[in-house]
Chain A
Amino acid sequence: MSILDAAKGAAQATIQAAMGKLVPLAPDSWIPGGIPDPLIRRQHGVIGAALSRLDGPLKVQGAARFAAEFPLDDMVYAALAYATIPRGRIAGLDVAAAEAAPGVVLVMTHHNAPRMNQPAVFGSSPEAAGPADLPIMQDDRIHWNGQPIAVVLAETQEQADHAVSLIGATYAPEPATTSLAAAKAAGPQPGLFMGQPLRNEIGDAEAMLAAAPHRVDQLYRTPRHNHNAIELHGATIAWIDGGLVVHDASQLVSAEAATLAGVFDLDVAQVRVTSPYVGGGFGGKCLWDHQILGAAAARLAARPVRIVLSREGVYRGVGGRTLTEQRVAIGAEADGRFRALIHSGIAAMSPHNNMPEPFILGTRSGYAADSFSLSVETVTMNMLANTFMRAPGESVGTFALESAIDEMAVELGIDPIALRIRNEPDKDPTSGLPFSSRDIVEAWRAGADRFGWAQRSATPGTRREGEWLIGMGCATATYPYYRMPGAAARITLGRDGKAVVEVAAHEMGMGTATTTTMVAAERLGLPIDAVEVRYGDSIIPGAILAGGSQQTAAIGAAVIAAHRALVADLLKLAGNDSPLAGLSADEVGCEDGGLVKLDEPTRRESYASILDRAQRETVVAAEEASPPLELMHWSMHSHGAMFCEVRVNTVTGETRVSRFLGSFDCGRILNAKTARSQFRGGIIMGLGMALMEETQFDERNGRIMNPSLSEYHIPVHRDVPEIDVIWTDIADPHTPMGAHGIGEIGITGVAAAVANAVYNATGKRIRDLPITLDKLL
């Protein structure tokens, strides 16, 4: 812990001046008329400072223990064999050679796997985290090409890998739908996202489109994408005293524990899932078959198991983003006002999950129009369950919508930024709710200024340097503010003036632990090094999903609730001999390691003094966050104005991004350094989506043919230019700390900004991703 302490000490030095200011208690209501979180008013505290990650030193020294690094006595190593057909039955499994191979402890197949319940599929209940509505290794059925068919346990990883290669399988194939054309022919179904239909009809959009003086009506396509976090999916699993302990790389420890309990007929209290560090999540580090298979094999072998998927294994067994085909049609007046906005299309899904890539979400609140027709339908293919991947919906949806808006700007001869601002809505155009905060216009102005947008020529193909054509493009980025119910926090305040804050949240490299420490320290009136945040463990009360960019808000609201309870307890403990005697929680704030009467700062007492007198070592308060009522009263979204400059080679069609700027409006930024990295990371992922990322799904047999980082291209250093990031820093008065989550918005709008820049450079409009050079020859 000394490294952590040192880091905290250094961090504290930079913000020392900030301490010693009074922080009142936050209200726990998020309703109209409610009082904004008082931390919003604190402009000179630690919030917003560019603080390095507190866990950085541990990570660079290799001292941070990831899921596959927990050493357990007597542990064995797992390897998986995968099916090679998309649908049918296993006719024969020859495991004799594998069983006889050196070091092999167990070969588990559907013949000898323990009986397990089907995991509750994600979305079926708040605690459900199962990947699909399917039993796992309980029968001979194959549901996708790549499904695990056997688990080998051996004394070393090498022995397990070798033995698994000796397993022979034969199949009785059954008809499968593995081509998009066949899936479409079978007919699309209405898409349901988290139980809500993905459909909005306002006015007669088709008629208004037909009647509009200017029309754009195009089809856009986005391919499948796979998760490629640096850290491979891995877990170290042990059965201890009849209970299950899983050290996992997880972004939902609590839901995972609950789901595993259901699978193995255990009480939730008998399952513990820890996830202290995650080497990249992006929606992919949830519950998949491998954790369940690892636990089953560990039970069968009566030994702890380490299971780490190979990179290929991640492609075979962890779902990615599905493909989409989207129509965007806009009808506009000559002055640019939208009369009709149509955004509809299909996404492919497996028969056993429910994740229609919801690409219309951003369109619902993006622009004003007189009429809307929005829908996502699904077609069914025999494939691995697709899943969430950074900004599911918005990432690919903004490609279509923001490309179409650029096309309309060309059609109308209006600057694309001006066109967007002209259609800026004054309330949410589809829900009718007021916006909680929306300063996208400010983000556009600041961004355009800084990027030098004025230098852009509206005529494509006019800027050239040698072989290279140069163009600029822009697009709107958008992602909602979410806060899910169920979060809780526990604060333990000690007589030594130190606090431990516990939340069942996750550090996946975004800086959550650091930001949570900053916010909690500020709220408690403590220096940063007096606050320790514990997280990533299902035994901590509450459930906080690291998804939907909601973790920061969920933690924030839970800490607000626990903090209130803590102050109330402290006032009780303070008793009649305290200068605070008789005060209620609403009358005090926190400052300098103690409580202070808000309007009479001389009435104060330190935490240490209160606990001393009460002869208590600690005071503990645990509380659940208040329900996310703010989401019922306002339309809540983050935005960004994305600017891109590309160079397209006239000889080869190669596209190189030479400059990028993201100008964000995402509420109050809590940590300038980690925020900048989040935005940049999202933008880099967006550049990959724009130019190269594509899962090669062989439509003949549903097999992924590029399951490796050598053939599945993501940007390398040379593909990434200097990325400039700025933000409005305008707090949203209706959220904890005035903040919005920022993990996902960075990827949105990027592909459209690139495609629009390519158009500006070349006059060629590419409507199917990725924009590879052959499309520009």
Chain B
Amino acid sequence: MTPFTYARAADPDDALRLAARDGTAYLGGGTNLVDLMRETIAQPARLVDVSGLPGAIEETDEGGLLIGAAVRNSALAEHRLVRTRYPVLGRALLAGASAQIRNMATVGGNLLQRTRCAYFYDSDGSRCNKRAPGSGCDAVAGFNRNHAILGASPACVATHPSDMCVALAALDATVQLQSAQGARTLPFAELHRLPGEHPERDTMLAPGELITAIALPPLPAAARSTYRKVRDRASYAFALVSVAAVIELDGDRIADVRIAFGGVAHKPWRAARAEALLRGGPATPAAIRAAAAAEFADAAPLRDNGFKVELATRTLVATLGDLVGATA
């Protein structure tokens, strides 16, 4: 770990002021950043601790939720309104990490956690464009069981590891940001980016920009939502594939459906094609399978992860099937 200084921000303005200089990183619960610092992958000269910023979960006037960036993952998962109105979010949170880590991890930090690609982590032995731009990618032809099948580039095949973010993608959340230039709001789908030529950039945040909150729109349909995560052991492992789904039926037709996949791309993958095909149609396994086939038509599996296409398809069929069954 490279030596650094530490300061604790009292409020967002304080945080921005403290972070004004290059080489500063915000510190949430530290469950990801501190690991990366230990591995010398992140070497900030200054840490500004934002875990003490306002961390409330409030119901908005429209009936949505406003979640402070400093809210701990476990607090969010346990919140009554999350459990009743957005079960997909609570389940995604509880599918992640361990109880201890969730107690430390903040919402802001969870959004910005970095990939678990082994070559990204191997700071002295492997090439990685995300860690050292331009050095190359050892994952493309290496161990890539956990890697992307959609939206990857020759420069990077890493996946975004968060469970929470998959649920947020399905819920059409927005992210509230603040910087020296002022405040702005970003649709969740525009927060994370695909790797392209610049895998070193995970998100569309400007340097020094602070996440202050996440807003969930009112979404009555989300009361019927769930998250299913498939992994290599029963707990404490990142998703090979995960599905966040919200469905609303009108008789036996699908009135509305929202689907996001985890573990398949550099960002939480909102399945717009599949949704469009399903909307207005029947919620039969065949229809869902066809929609998944359309979604994965461009999938480009690597050496070790070809199974993800079939796994994601089956998981989607089963997940929507369960939700539909639950309404019957």
Which A residues form the contact surface with B (CB < 8 A)? Answer: 82, 84, 102, 145, 158, 161-162, 165, 467, 651-654, 656, 691-692, 696, 698, 700-701, 703, 705-706, 708, 710-711, 713, 715-719, 772-774, 777
Contacts and interface: CB of A to CB of B under 8 A. Distances in A.
Interface string B1-13: 1110000000000
B27 interface: no
A162 B2 CA distance: 6
B284 interface: no
B233 A705 contact: no
B230 A652 contact: yes
Given A711-B116, A774-B307, A719 B143 contact: no
B118 A706 contact: yes
Contacts of A718: 233-235
Contacts of A656: 234
A165 B118 contact: no
Contact of A719 (B119, B121, B122, B234): B234
A713 B231 CA distance: 11
Contacts of A162: 1-3
B233 A716 contact: yes
Nearest to A715: B233
A143 B3 CA distance: 33
Contacts of A653: 311
A651 B314 contact: yes
A354 to B, nearest CB: 27
B27 to A, nearest CB: 17
B62 interface: no
Contact of B143 (A145, A698, A713): A698
A84 B125 contact: yes
A710 B120 CA distance: 14
A773 B230 contact: yes
A777 B312 CA distance: 11
A708 B35 CA distance: 12
B158 to A, nearest CB: 14
A773 B218 CA distance: 37
B126 interface: yes
A774 B307 CA distance: 6
B98 to A, nearest CB: 9
B250 interface: no
B142 A698 contact: yes
A607 to B, nearest CB: 53
Given A165-B2, A467-B318, A700-B142, A654 B230 contact: yes
Contact of B125 (A145, A706, A716): A145
B315 interface: yes
Contacts of B235: 716-719
Interface in B185-202: none
A94 to B, nearest CB: 13
Given A713-B232, A716-B235, A774-B145, 20 more contacts: A162-B1, A165-B40, A651-B315, A652-B230, A692-B232, A700-B141, A701-B125, A703-B122, A703-B126, A705-B119, A705-B142, A705-B143, A715-B233, A716-B233, A716-B234, A719-B234, A773-B240, A773-B307, A777-B307, A777-B310
Interface string B285-321: 0000000000000000000000100110011011000
Contacts of B145: 774
A777 B311 contact: yes
B2 to A, nearest CB: 6
Contacts of B122: 703, 705
Contact of A692 (B1, B143, B233, B314): B233
Contact of B236 (A82, A102, A467, A716): A716
Per DSSP, are chain B's interface residues mostly helix, strand or loop, or mixed?
A: loop
Q: Which 3 A-B pairs have the closest CB atoms?
A: A718-B234, A774-B307, A84-B125
A713 B233 contact: yes
A650 B308 CA distance: 15
B1 A158 contact: yes
A474 to B, nearest CB: 23
Nearest to B234: A718
Contacts of A717: 235
Given A162-B3, A165-B40, A696 B233 contact: no
Given A84-B124, A162-B2, A165-B40, A719 B311 contact: no
12 contacts: A162-B1, A656-B234, A696-B118, A698-B138, A700-B141, A703-B122, A705-B118, A713-B233, A713-B237, A772-B232, A773-B307, A773-B311
A711 B40 CA distance: 18
Interface string B112-148: 0000101101101110000000000010011101000
Contacts of A701: 125
A710 B118 CA distance: 11
A159 to B, nearest CB: 9
B288 to A, nearest CB: 12
A154 to B, nearest CB: 13
A388 B186 CA distance: 55
Nearest to A772: B232
Given A84-B124, A703-B125, A710 B234 contact: no
Given A703-B125, A703-B126, A719 B233 contact: yes
Nearest to A146: B125
Nearest to B304: A774
Contacts of A145: 125
Nearest to A705: B118
Nearest to B139: A705
A161 B37 CA distance: 11
A57 B109 CA distance: 39
Contacts of A691: 233
A101 to B, nearest CB: 9
A700 B230 CA distance: 29
A705 B128 CA distance: 13
Contacts of B236: 716
Nearest to B97: A710
Given A651-B318, A700-B142, A773 B232 contact: yes
A651 B320 CA distance: 13
A771 to B, nearest CB: 11
Nearest to A653: B311
A149 to B, nearest CB: 11
A777 B310 CA distance: 8
Contacts of B230: 652, 654, 773
A710 B125 contact: no
A653 to B, nearest CB: 7
Given A656-B234, A719-B233, A719-B234, A711 B314 contact: no
A716 B240 CA distance: 17
Contacts of B40: 165
Highest count of chain A CB atoms <10 Å: which of B118, B230, B237, B318: B118
Contacts of B234: 656, 716, 718-719
B197 to A, nearest CB: 24
A719 B232 CA distance: 10
A141 B279 CA distance: 64
Contacts of B124: 82, 84
A75 B204 CA distance: 48
B38 to A, nearest CB: 8
B311 A696 contact: no
Contacts of B143: 696, 698, 705-706
A591 B310 CA distance: 71
Contacts of B126: 703, 705
Contacts of A652: 230, 311, 314-315, 318
Interface in B217-239: 230, 232-237
B157 to A, nearest CB: 14
Contacts of B314: 651-652, 777
A402 to B, nearest CB: 23
